[in-house]
Structure 1
Amino acid sequence: MDYQDALQIAAQQVLALKGHTIDVLTIKRPTEVQGAVELAKIVSKLSPIIGNLLEYAVVGYLNSAHAWQPGCKWIRQDPGFPDTILQGMNEPQPGIEIKTWFPLATEITARFRDSQTAFQFNQTKVALLCWLPEYVIAGQPKIIDVWIGNALDVAQARDKHYHAPPHYVVLEPEDTSTRTRNLQQTNCTGLKFQGNPTQLRKAQTLVKSWGKAGLTYKTDPRYQARLRELTRQFPYRPDTNFSKMDRIVLSSLEEFKSNVMETLFLDRTIQQWLDSLERVDLQTLVTLVASS
């Protein structure tokens, strides 16, 4: 088995989690309508906690669902990228970056900042697990659907979407290969132009001097040096929304998001549940109260 075989097997296992309820945490069902109203307001705040618990649970599931070759097991890297790797396999080690999405929140808030250069062997997958409590606002987390893609595709789509010099610049991390692993930088940065109209015209002239190919994002040192010179000459600020999965504009991920919101869950689409909870629809909330 090589690393690509291992990745394919692991990806199929994660996809098979669709429809499963994961026993990591249980939210008690409300017994009256006002309790449902209050719970609907705060359930999204549990998303980061449950997301971390789901990530941990997936690692255990990967090890139990398949007999990996002797000496190999999936381990969680915390901190570290990706979230889980198949320890014991020769380089390049296959890995999965696990993201979670609670669709009753505003958007997919998970980020993907890692550089394209980290995936030169296409050895990493990204898994996005969409979950809801089994009773919408209560119960155990249930996996509604799963999206899996290549980390390289996600990184390339992100850079293509954001990079538009001089208005917006994506920068590769500095070379930190000589540092210990925990101090190495792998994250890209998104910078927005903050200059005045005169500065913008000068910046546009500089970018134009790079030629037509200068607008296309590249990770090579020469191109990155040009970008760093641009950001030194003119004012830029970090973009706090850079690399959010919800804004990367990857076609398969966009289709996944749309399909999830149209998915039927307890006789309503998830979009209908979202709309009802946002307007605190009491007729809907009463259906979520536990019977006495």
Structure 2
Amino acid sequence: MNTQEVIRLATQYLDGLSGHIFDVLDISKPVSVDAAVNLAKVISKLSPLVGNLIEFNTVEFLNKHNQFSNFGKWQRQDPGFPDTVFIGEVQPTPGLEIKAWFPLATEITARFKDSQNHFQFDQTYVVMLAWLPEKVIYGKPRIFDVCVISGLSVAIARDNHYHNPPDYLVLEPEDTTQRTANLQQTNTNGYKFQGSKEEFLEAQKIVESWGVEGKLYKPTREYQRLLRQLLTRYTYRLDTNFAKMDRIVHPEIEEFKKLVYNAEIAGMTVGKWNKLLSSRREESIKRALQIYLEIREETIDELLD
């Protein structure tokens, strides 16, 4: 079994998680409509906690499958990238970076900042797990849908989306291979131009001098030196929103978002629930939750399936 075979097998099992309920947390049913409205406002704050719990349980889920046992086992890395690696005979080491997504939040807040240079063998894949409570805003966490994507493709899409010198620079981490593991840098960063109009025109001429190929992003040392010349010569600010997965326009991520948002749950699409619960229309929220809470329990499961 090689790296890509391990990833393919893991992907098959992870796809089977759709509809799976993780018995790690149980949110009680609101006792009133007002309580439901208040719960709807704060439920997204549970996402980091539930995301970590799902990560733990995903490793256990994968290790239950005997097909892996002859070659190694999945092991969580905390801290470290990726979240989960397959330790054993297979080289290069397969890895999974797990991103739990709560689709009733305003956007996918997970970031993916690791450099293209870390995916030379396409050995690390991103696992997006969309989850919701069983009953929309209460119950146990339920995996709504799963998407497994090449980490290399995500890094390339991110860099190509943001890269626009001299207006926007995507910079690779410095070479820190001589440092101890906990001090090594692996993340790219984005920088937005903050200089004057005259400086911008001057910087544009520098970029034009690089030729057509100079406009194409490269994670190489030679190309990064060109970008760093701009960073040291002109004023840039670090972009704190850089690398949010919701904003990199990766085709598979966009398709996954569309699939999840268009799925129907409890009489409305997930997208409509998202729009409603993230709005300030409290009366509309109260009316929708009032209708929802009055649905017979035996019909709720039918709506979720």
Instruction: Calculate the TM-score normalised by the size of structure 2.
Output: 0.92
Match of 2:300 in 1: none
2:274 aligned partner: 274
8 Å CA contact retained: 1:3, 1:89: no
In the TM superposition, structure 1's runs of 4+ consecutive aligned residues that sit over 4 Å from their partners are none
For the residue of structure 1 that corresponds to 2:122, the secondary structure is coil
SS at match of 1:143: strand
Q: Is residue 63–residue 73 contact of structure 2 (8 Å, CA) maintained in 1?
A: yes
SS where residue 257 of structure 2 aligns? helix
Q: Which amino acid aligns with 2:158?
A: R
Cα distance in structure 2, aligned partners of 1:28 and 1:107: 25
SS of alignment partner, residue 67 of structure 2: coil
Q: By how many angstroms is 1:15 displaced?
A: 1.3
Aligned partners of 2:29, 2:191: CA distance in 1, in Å?
A: 44
Kept in 1, the 8 Å contact 2:99–2:110? The answer is yes
Residue in 2 that maps onto 1:240: 240
Could you report, residue by residue, the CA deviation over 1:174-218 in whole angstroms, capped at 9, with x for unpaired residues?
001111212111100100000000110111011111111111000
Alignment of 1:108-119 (within 5 A): 108-119=108-119
- What SS is found at the alignment partner of 1:67? helix
Paired with 1:260 and 1:250, the residues of 2 have a C-alpha distance of: 16
Question: Among 273, 282, 288, which residue is 1:284 paired with?
Answer: 288
Of 110-119 and 29-38, deviating more is: 29-38
Instruction: Give the percent of matched residue pairs that are identical in Structure 1 and Structure 2.
Output: 51
Q: Report how many aligned residue pairs link the two structures.
A: 292
Structure 1: which 5+ runs fail to align? none
Determine the structure 1 residue equivalent to 2:197: 197
Question: d(CA) in 1 for partners of 2:14 and 2:25?
Answer: 19
1:27 is paired with a residue whose SS is: coil
CA-CA distance at 1:272 after TM superposition: 2.1
Query: Which deviates further from its counterpart, 275-284 or 237-246?
Result: 275-284
**CA–CA separation in structure 1 for the residues paired with 2:90 and 2:145:** 31
CA shift digits 1:13-38 (9 cap, x unpaired): 11111111111111111121111011
Partner of 1:44: 44
Matched, 1:255 2:259: no
- Please list every run of 5 or more consecutive structure 2 residues that lacks an aligned counterpart in the other structure: 298-305
How much is the aligned-residue C-alpha RMSD, in angstroms?
Answer: 1.5
AA at the equivalent of 1:83: D
For 1:124, the aligned partner's letter is T
Matched, 1:133 2:133: yes
